[in-house]
Amino acid sequence: MAPSAIPIPSTTSSLEKEGIARSLEKTAPSFTNGSTNGITSSDSTLPELDASSLKTTLTQNPQPVPLPDSPEVLAQKTCTDHMITCSWTLTTGWQTPELKPYGPLTLMPTASVLHYATECFEGMKLYRGYDGRLRLFRPQLNCARMLLSSARIALPGFNPDELLKLIVKLCATDGEKWLPKERPGSFLYIRPTMIANDPALGVQKPKEALLYIILACFPRMDKGQEGMKLLASKDDMVRAWPGGFGFAKVGANYGPTLICQGEARARGYDQILWLFGPESSVTEAGASNFFIVWKTRVGQTQLVTAPLSERIILDGVTRRSVLQLARERLSGSDDNVEVVERKFNFSEMLEAYDEGRLLECFVAGTAFFISGVGEIGWKDRSLTFKLNEDGCGRYAGLIKASLKNIMYGKQAHEWGYVVEEN
């Protein structure tokens, strides 16, 4: 994706758009040239993010690779041997990125990120294919979204292509050891992160930031045959709102949900199904996008998910891919599934369920991948769904299998981005 193609959604407020444009002007010099879609050009001469200048220092203390689903992996604390960091300041631009041994960061107690949530991130995976190769999945989309998130949270701009090169470099360095070829079908979780380490305590746009990329050992989080259990949120609990930042992958969308998520877990559910507004519009589930498949009253099978237009849900890479695959592969004569992005309310879902028209629900995201929903708790009701062995209903299962084939190299597809190992 060319940088100039990064869309600032048309519903962006003018003040926010102008603020983002001004921010990028100062921080991401030339790559925004010529864009007219909210990101303006600039003639700044400060250094850009430049992967070609990467300085490499390999570890002298390599760590053991934990076994899949070992306690170390389940704890989600183990990262690979290396990380990449790159500093930025308002006056000097982007510094030389460094690939170096994984280790702690040092921050002043006044650092902006610790007080004002000036932070954003991405979630991606590195897959070890059945053909022995390493792949990313549509990583350009993550890098472009990271720019949108960083601009929304007043962090510096950068060329997403350079971020992708850095991600690839880290994957190429640690992939061979941490995703051994004898474990095809395994993955590492990639977490590009940007934080404001500006030590000035005033509430203001940060003048210093740190971009870093780490690779974590993560368990599979898609559920078994019982599927996910979702607890519908109440009217007075809101994850995101129009005019807010629900569309961006910023820390501020996550911490505030943890109390409700924790309470859901304490009651035996996996995640919250986030309903919004007086009409209980269905938005996201946990930190994943949410889909349903139902029959309309006239018998049309539809795959439905909430639209991006209100900017209260994340423009998920998996979400996009589900929609595209469904349009390509499920709309033929065999299945004849209509793919619909529209607002829908919980009451519509409930009605369909009671009339036997709600065929399945599933969540889609990088962490949880495609996970069928086995149960939804709402007030005193419990909606239950029978799932297949893969933990999905029929349609989610078809989509999941297609995506896995692309991710793990069983099917050649432009979405699979091969990483050549060092």
**Distance from C-alpha of 419 to C-alpha of 415, rounded to nearest angstrom:** 13
Q: How far is the CB of 118 from a second copy (least distance, A)?
A: 4
Nearer to a second copy, 80 or 95 (CB): 80
Least spacing, CB of residue 12 vs a second copy, in Å: 8
Question: Residue 242 and residue 28: Cα distance in Å, rounded?
Answer: 27
The answer for residues whose C-beta is within 8 angstroms of residue 23's C-beta and 6 or more apart is 151, 154, 156, 157, 205
Q: How far is the CB of 369 from a second copy (least distance, A)?
A: 15
Closest CB to a second copy among 107 and 340? 107
- Nearest partner of 296 among 362, 354, 344, 352, judged by Cα: 352
| Residue 204 Cβ vs a second copy, minimum distance, rounded to whole Å | 7
Minimum distance of a second copy from residue 245's CB (angstroms): 5
93/409 with CB nearer a second copy? 93
Taking the least distance from each CB to a second copy, the nearer of 266 and 298 is 266
Q: How far is the CB of 99 from a second copy (least distance, A)?
A: 14
127 neighbors 418 (Cβ within 8 angstroms) = no
Instruction: Please give the DSSP secondary-structure letter assigned to residue 146.
Output: H
Identity of the residue, 159 or 253, whose beta carbon is nearer to a second copy in the bound complex: 253
Could you tell me the smallest distance in angstroms from the CB atom of residue 72 to a second copy? 11
Q: Which is nearer to a second copy, 46 or 260 (CB)?
A: 260
Question: Which residue reads 């519509």 in tokens?
Answer: 348
DSSP per position, 187-244: EEEEEEEEE------SSS--SEEEEEEEEE-----S--TT-EEEEEPPTT--S--TTS
Quick one: how far is CA 403 from the chain centroid? 16
| Residue 226 or 263 with smaller CB distance to a second copy | 263
Closest distance to a second copy from the beta carbon of 22 (Å): 6
Rg (CA), the chain: 22
Judge whether 171 and 79 are in contact, CB under 8 Å: no
Nearer to a second copy, 66 or 184 (CB): 66
Burial class of residue 410 in the structure, from the number of CB atoms within 10 Å of its CB (0-12 exposed, 13-18 middle, 19+ buried): middle
Q: Are strands 228-232 and 208-216 parallel, antiparallel or unpaired?
A: unpaired
